Amino acid sequence: GAGVSQSPRYKVAKRGQDVALRCDPISGHVSLFWYQQALGQGPEFLTYFQNEAQLDKSGLPSDRFFAERPEGSVSTLKIQRTQQEDSAVYLCASSLTGGFNEQFFGPGTRLTVL
Amino acid sequence: AQSVTQPDIHITVSEGASLELRCNYSYGATPYLFWYVQSPGQGLQLLLKYFSGDTLVQGIKGFEAEFKRSQSSFNLRKPSVHWSDAAEYFCAATLSGTYKYIFGTGTRLKVLA
């Protein structure tokens, strides 16, 4: 596709459930990023991949959050034992090269934890 | 600590009026600066960016921004707002050579017909 796609677009989970959010970056993009955007806030960095390597996971809020990109393309953000404070929009972005470059954002997945 | 501040949470303007959205940054060095727009249910779309050089930057959709080092600001402007400009606008920054963007909290723009 032409842009970054994410699925599902909306996810409702009961507290304690595990969820998996998918990101399809722009084909050929080396770098992939996940951001968390709480209501009324700007996006906050979660983690960064260069190809399949997770180079930075400093923004993951707890060990319940886990991200992978096993083949260097599609990425999955997994949240275990979801809590109400996990409710947010999760944005994925990709960029052509490693290091600094313009990031292209997907539409996001809105997660609501009841 | 590095930060990006957007002082205005909401702004309302009439269609055809001019617009200025404020952005201030706090970094040890001059960062790369960006403005993004986010429409409901959409991802972030890049409007313009500043790396170096000419401090007046032109972007898409008729937007421009001016970098002012003395004020640590990067304000977004548009001479005449259209109803379709109603959206949320985010200022972001990153240091040269780094990938970690820091975003402001956003300014929600409402346009009156």
CB contact under 8 A, B103 and A102: no
Q: What gap in Å lies between CA B55 and CA B57, rounded to an integer?
A: 6
The CATH number that applies at residue A93 is 2.60.40.10
User: Considering only residues 28 to 87 of chain B, which have any Cβ-Cβ distance to chain A shorter than 8 Å?
Assistant: 32, 36, 41-46, 49
Question: Which CATH number describes the domain made up of B3-112?
Answer: 2.60.40.10
B53-62 b/e (C-beta count within 10 Å ≥ 16 → b) = eeeebebeee
Residue of B nearest to A59 (CA): B100
* CA quadruple A79, A82, A86, A92: dihedral, nearest 10: 20
User: Considering only residues 29 to 68 of chain A, which have any Cβ-Cβ distance to chain B shorter than 8 Å?
Assistant: 31, 33, 40-45, 48, 56
The sign one gets for the Cα dihedral A92, A54, A28, A45 is positive
Report whether pLDDT(B1) > 90: no
Peptide bond into A8 cis (omega under 30): yes
* B59-76: average pLDDT: 96
Q: Total structural domains in chain A?
A: 1
pLDDT tens by residue, A62-96: 999 999 999 999 999 999 999 999 999 999 999 99
A88 touches chain B (CB under 8 A): no
A95 touches chain B (CB under 8 A): yes
Task: Look at residue B80 in the predicted model and tell me its pLDDT.
Answer: 97
Task: Look at residue A37 in the predicted model and tell me its pLDDT.
Answer: 94
Minimal C-alpha gap between A96 and chain B (Å) = 12
CB contact under 8 A, A99 and B42: no
| Structural domain for A79, as ranges | 5-113
